[in-house]
Amino acid sequence: MAQFENSNDEVFMQDPKPEYGEFIVKANRRSEVKASKNNGSRSNAARLRVSVMAAMLSVGTLLTTPAWAGTFFFSTGNPDGKLGALSRPAGSQGLETETADDFFLTQATVVSGATIHGLIPSGTTISGITRVEVEIYHIFPLDSDLARSANVPTRQNSPSDVEIGAATHDSSNGSLSFIATDISPFTVQSTVINGIKPATHGEGPSSGEQVEIDITFSAPIFLPAGHYFFRPEVQLNNGNFLFLSAPKPITSGTSFPAGTNDLQAWIRNASLAPDWLRIGADIIGGGNAFNMTFSLTGNTIPDAGTPGQANCHGQTISAMAEEFTGIDASASTLGYSSVDALQDGVTAFCKP
């Protein structure tokens, strides 16, 4: 739902262990000394010196392979059966309606895939899922019009007015692909579909089929460290897709870093935009707050440049080449279709 486009903006890194190489070298040196004393042979010692050199080179090679490259995974856990919230593009079913939940990146990260869980009507097959779109948002007040008056109780900790333009991906234009899997019959205690207004208290329970949708981004989403909202939309050929809630606080997923709050899920439709409402606090009420069920995967780029700085592009390419032993390997590992596509991704990342 773009009104104007803007620029871009748990992961654990396992550092190489130089002491492993030192241990191997020292062990070989002890063997060399012992062999020299026992045999009195210079040739044996020479051969062992060659072995030492080979061990050192082997360790050096090991420490520059992608084995130590940082992988990224974030998850809110599994559906808890409390809520299904509408999230669909505009179409024959009605107005565009967006449901979003937050995630946090501790380092610059290339996000290559996502998974979402939703409820579709009973009798609807997964072949009836015709379109998936993903948007990423900063947190208000970034990318927002502060001159206007909000028409909602609060915008604090909500998604921004507009999405990050470079991060938008849509199956209708080939920028993402998806595979849907039918999981099982499922029931939610409450739904938010049409009553996207304060204190409507939801629209009652609903039953249907739980589906999992695995998403692959044709051009990965490259983001700096920071706090974001993830917003998927799913279009069906008949009926609505309800994004399923997950436990809040997170119980079986990825914990947020210390000092960072796990924010609750928000929703809006085309009539409410650019504002958002809290699904729990504003609509359902009763002290409720919800997470939504999704996960993200990718790779961290710890030494990436800083967006907006002159050396951002060069530093980021250099960091990738070092992390993945070459720029071709970087493109392949990170999910880019080519080196040119990777270069385009870095260019978008580095924009201020």
Residues 221 and 320 in one domain: no
Query: Which region holds residue 323: left if phi is over 0, alpha if psi is between -120 and 50, else beta?
Result: alpha
Q: Has residue 3 been placed in a domain?
A: no
Q: Where are the alpha helices (DSSP H) in the chain?
A: 18-39, 42-62, 312-323, 327-334, 339-350
Determine the Cα–Cα distance for residues 34 and 235; give it in Å rounded to an integer.
72
For residue 1, tell me if it sits in a domain.
no
**10 pLDDT more than 80:** no
Predicted confidence band at 224 (pLDDT cuts at 50, 70, 90)?
Answer: very high
| Same domain, residue pair 47 and 105 | no
How distant, in Å, are the alpha carbons of 23, 253, 260, 301 from that of 158? 52, 22, 15, 27
Reported as half-sphere exposure (CB side, CA atoms, 13 A), residue 24 has a value of: 15
Mark which of 7, 40, 63 sits at the end of a domain: 63
* 306/292 same-domain check: no
Q: How confident is the model over 245-262, as a mean pLDDT?
A: 97
| 68 vs 142, higher pLDDT | 142
Judging by beta carbons within 10 Å of its beta carbon (0-12, 13-18, 19+), is residue 287 exposed, middle or buried?
Answer: exposed
240 has pLDDT over 70: yes
Residue 339 pLDDT > 60, yes or no? yes
pLDDT at 65 over 70: no
Q: What is the pLDDT of residues 287-309, one digit of tens each?
A: 999 999 999 999 999 999 999 99
Average pLDDT estimate for 238-245: 97
- Whether residue 4 is contained in a domain is answered as no
- Same domain membership, residue 160 and residue 75: yes
Closest CA to 268 of 147, 145, 150: 150
Q: Is residue 101 part of a domain?
A: yes
Q: Which of 30, 47, 63 is the last residue of a domain?
A: 63
Residue 64: which pLDDT band, with cuts at 50, 70 and 90? very low
Is residue 217 located within the same domain as residue 135?
yes
Mean pLDDT in the chain?
Answer: 86
The DSSP code sequence of 74-112 is EE--S--SSEEEE-B-SBTTBS-EEEEEEEEESS-EEEE
Does residue 9 fall inside a structural domain?
Answer: no
232 and 325, same domain (yes or no): no
Domain co-membership, 294 together with 308: no
Residues in Cβ contact with 36 at an 8 Å cutoff, skipping those fewer than 6 apart: 42, 44, 45
Whether 10 is in a domain gets the answer no
Lookup result for tokens 């903006």: 9
Determine whether 61 is exposed, middle or buried from the number of CB atoms within 10 Å of its CB (0-12, 13-18, 19+): exposed
Range of the domain at 346: 301-350
Q: Are residues 212 and 308 in the same domain?
A: no
| 102 plus 216 within the same structural domain | yes
Of 60-74, 79-93, 97-111, 193-207, least confident by mean pLDDT is: 60-74
Which of 39-53, 119-133, 167-181, 218-232 shows the lowest per-residue confidence on average (mean pLDDT)?
39-53
What are the tens digits of pLDDT across the range 45-60?
A: 433 333 433 333 343 4
Q: Is residue 11 part of a domain?
A: no
Number of domains the chain contains: 3
Q: Is the same domain home to 49 and 133?
A: no
What are 204's two structure tokens?
Answer: 């009652």
Query: What does the alpha-carbon distance between residue 18 and residue 310 come to, in Å, rounded to a whole number?
Result: 33
Average of per-residue pLDDT across 185-210: 97
Position 69 scores a pLDDT of 53
Residue 152: inside a domain: yes
The average pLDDT across 92-116 equals 97
Question: What's the rounded Cα separation, in Å, for the pair 222 and 346?
Answer: 7
- Shared domain check, 88 and 130: yes
DSSP 234: E
In degrees rounded to 5, what are phi and psi of residue 54?
-65, -40
* 123/267 same-domain check: yes
- How do residues 69-80 score in pLDDT, each as one tens digit? 589 999 999 999
Q: Residue 173 — φ and ψ, nearest 5°? A: -115, 10
Contact 263, 156 (CB under 8 A): no
Q: Is the pLDDT of residue 6 over 70?
A: no
